[in-house]
């Protein structure tokens, strides 16, 4: 990890997916932060927000128009925060690489090949990527490691997640990360042991599996429970988000973390000092 430019006092931040649920939350959080300034706002050409002031929804003028021109949107920027879709994030990252702009990636649903492309871009620009930017979820990931090591045999492990009706990927990126952390802690390979659906005559549960259940409905912001079900007892570890503000605040912590870094792929364990 190379150290380059001095840490700027005000971080110039662009937001991709500027009119999405997280885009709005991020623009609001940037406005409230003394050390960050909105410096770019990207959205799809089909978005009705194109050409409007990015903060118009707050009844405020930031002076930053929403644009579909990625290079224009990144022309005066230190870090891009991207909560969009995998194909959008990858297109934005190509421009970040060209322009030397860092990235905070919250988008979920990447394939392994797409994750490898992101790692490749991180050789040239600094990137924080995490399926969940909240402090609580990242602390829960550490708790899960401990619990899974202690409960590796005799306990059936199930990951249950619930999200709003608009979510397009399943299981959530957070649920998958929880599965990965648990699988590693108990010495299994998630690609071999994950069970994503059950229907019909499934047979008895294979104790080496990690099961996933997905609920979609209403305006649920994001709930994750990991169940360790033994004989005569069960442990449930749950995180519930009641506001997207935690994701936005975590993203701004990631922006600050990237200042002065010139390359490397990091996650929220690095940002929050939770790396073992
Ligand atoms: N890491 C974390 O902490 C969190 C991660 N997420 C993840 O962030 C992502 C976005 O979530 P959310 O804000 O709820 O979603 P929304 O659908 O509300 O917002 C997505 C935004 O991205 C735009 N967009 C869609 N496709 C593309 C594309 N191909 N290229 C560029 N822009 C695109 C949308 O434009 P349009 O509306 O015009 O389609 C919209 O502005 C999801 O992957 C979600 O799982 C969400 C919350 C927390
Ligand atoms: O789409 C969402 O809303 C969320 N997505 C992330 C995920 O897939 O884990 C994080 C959070 O749960 C909200």
Across 137-142, average pLDDT: 98
The Å distance, Cα 18 to ligand 1 centre, comes to 9
Q: What is the pLDDT of residue 158?
A: 98
pLDDT surpasses 80 at 5: no
Residue 276: predicted pLDDT: 79
Position 190 scores a pLDDT of: 98
Instruction: Judge whether 2 lies within some domain.
Output: no
Whether 89 is in the pocket of ligand 1, judged by its Cβ within 6 Å, is no
CA distance 270 to 84: 23
Question: Looking at the predicted structure, is the pLDDT value of residue 143 above 70?
Answer: yes
pLDDT at 9: 83
Q: Which domain holds residue 101?
A: 11-133+244-272
| Residue 266 near ligand 1, beta carbon < 6 Å | no
CATH classification of the domain holding 252: 3.40.50.720
What radius of gyration do the chain's Cα atoms show?
20
Residue 126: per-residue pLDDT: 98
Q: What are the tokens at 177?
A: 């990360």
Q: 9 C-alpha vs ligand 2 centroid, how far in Å?
A: 30
Q: Mean pLDDT in the chain?
A: 96
Is position 86 within any domain?
yes
Is residue 188 in some structural domain?
Answer: yes
123 and 50 within one domain:
yes
- Domain match, 179 and 115 both: no
Binding positions? 17-22, 106-108, 130-133, 164, 173-174
HEC string of 231-271?
CCCEEEEEEEECCCHHHHHHHHHHHHHHCCECCEEECHHHH
pLDDT tens string 168-227: 999 999 999 999 999 999 999 999 999 999 999 999 999 999 999 999 999 999 999 999
- CATH for 154: 3.30.360.10
Please give the pLDDT value at position 153: 96
Lowest mean pLDDT among 2-11, 50-59, 247-256: 2-11
∠ Cα 74 115 195 (to 5°):
135
| Cβ pair 198, 211 in contact under 8 A | yes
How high is the pLDDT of residue 195?
98
Tell me, rounded to whole angstroms, the distance of Cα 257 from its chain centroid: 15
Residue range 15-38: average pLDDT? 98
Instruction: Assign 3 a pLDDT band (cuts: 50, 70, 90).
Output: low
CA–centroid distance, 180 to ligand 1, in Å, is 23
Same domain, 28 and 117: yes
Q: What is the pLDDT of residues 78-105, one digit of tens each?
A: 999 999 999 999 999 999 999 999 999 9
Task: Tell me the sheet residues that pair with 37.
Answer: 12
Mean pLDDT of 238-259: 98
Do both 235 and 176 map to the same domain?
A: yes
Q: Is-contact 16 106, C-beta < 8 A?
A: no
Count of domains for the chain: 2
Residue nearest to atom 33 of ligand 1 (CA): 84
Annotate 151-174 with b (16+ C-beta within 10 A) or e (fewer): beeebbbbbbbbbeeebebbbbbb
Percent of the chain with pLDDT over 70: 97
Tens digit of pLDDT for each residue in 230-241?
Answer: 999 999 999 999
| Global ipTM | 0.99
Shared-domain flag, residues 141 and 174: yes
Please report the atom of ligand 1 found closest to the CA of residue 87: 29
Q: Which ligand is nearest to the CA of 21?
A: 1
């Amino acid at each position: 990890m190379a150290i380059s430019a001095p840490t700027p006092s005000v971080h110039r931040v662009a937001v991709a997916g500027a009119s999405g649920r997280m885009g709005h939350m991020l623009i609001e959080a940037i406005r409230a932060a003394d050390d960050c300034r909105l410096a770019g706002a990207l959205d799809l050409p089909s978005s009705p927000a194109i050409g409007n002031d990015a903060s118009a929804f707050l009844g405020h003028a930031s002076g930053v128009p929403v644009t579909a021109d990625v290079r224009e949107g990144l022309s005066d920027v230190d870090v891009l925060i991207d909560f969009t879709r995998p194909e959008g994030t990858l297109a934005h990252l190509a421009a970040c690489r060209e322009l030397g702009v860092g990235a905070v990636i919250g988008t979920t649903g990447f394939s392994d090949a797409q994750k490898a492309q992101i790692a490749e871009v991180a050789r040239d620009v600094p990137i924080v990527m995490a399926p969940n930017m909240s402090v609580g979820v990242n602390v829960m990931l550490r708790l899960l490691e401990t619990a899974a090591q202690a409960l590796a045999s005799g306990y059936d492990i199930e990951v249950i997640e619930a999200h709003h009706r608009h979510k397009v990927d399943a299981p959530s990126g957070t649920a998958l990360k929880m599965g990965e952390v648990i699988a590693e802690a108990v010495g299994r390979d998630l690609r071999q042991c994950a069970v994503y659906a059950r229907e019909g005559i499934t047979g008895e549960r294979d104790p080496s599996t990690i099961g996933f259940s997905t609920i979609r409905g209403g305006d649920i912001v994001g709930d994750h429970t990991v169940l360790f079900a033994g004989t005569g007892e069960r442990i449930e570890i749950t995180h519930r988000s009641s506001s997207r503000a935690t994701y936005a605040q975590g993203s701004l912590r990631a922006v600050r973390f990237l200042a002065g870094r010139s390359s490397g792929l990091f996650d929220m364990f690095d940002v929050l000092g939770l790396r073992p």
